[in-house]
Amino acid sequence: MSAILDAPLSIPDTIPAWLGRLDSTLEAPYRAMLWNDDVHAFDHVVAVLVRVVPEVRTPEHAHEIAMTAHMQGRAVIVRGGRDRLAGYRDALEATGLTVTIEPEA
């Protein structure tokens, strides 16, 4: 056998940055969309977005999403893999919000 095959295998403790970017790219062909309605108050939408979607970390971010949906009819909540977004959609719809999952254009 060669010395290369006999050498111990070295496994890095961290994932290289480029691999993390690749994983994000592969996981993010979809987006969760919040649709405007005239039923729910901004406070309700903001509270639910912050509670349900970990990527929406602040009330200010949630308010920005809600305002975009109000002004433009819909807004991107978050991008990611379809399965993860389906969980967010189900939880958000359970509170009465209208959310769809769309492929990225």
Pairing of strands 98-103, 74-80: unpaired
Question: What is the DSSP code (8-state) at residue 83?
Answer: H
Distance separating alpha carbons of residues 96 and 40, to the nearest angstrom: 8
Q: Which domain holds residue 35?
A: 27-103
The answer to whether residue 19 scores a pLDDT higher than 60 is: no
Residue 21 lies in a domain: no
Residue 20 lies in a domain: no
Distance separating alpha carbons of residues 47 and 57, to the nearest angstrom: 11
pLDDT at 3: 55
pLDDT at 105: 77
Quick: pLDDT tens for 23-63.
Answer: 444 556 999 999 999 899 999 999 999 999 999 999 999 99
Count of structural domains within the chain: 1
Average pLDDT, the chain: 83
Residue 38 lies in a domain: yes
pLDDT at 7: 55
Residue 88 lies in a domain: yes
CATH of the domain at 54: 3.30.1390.10
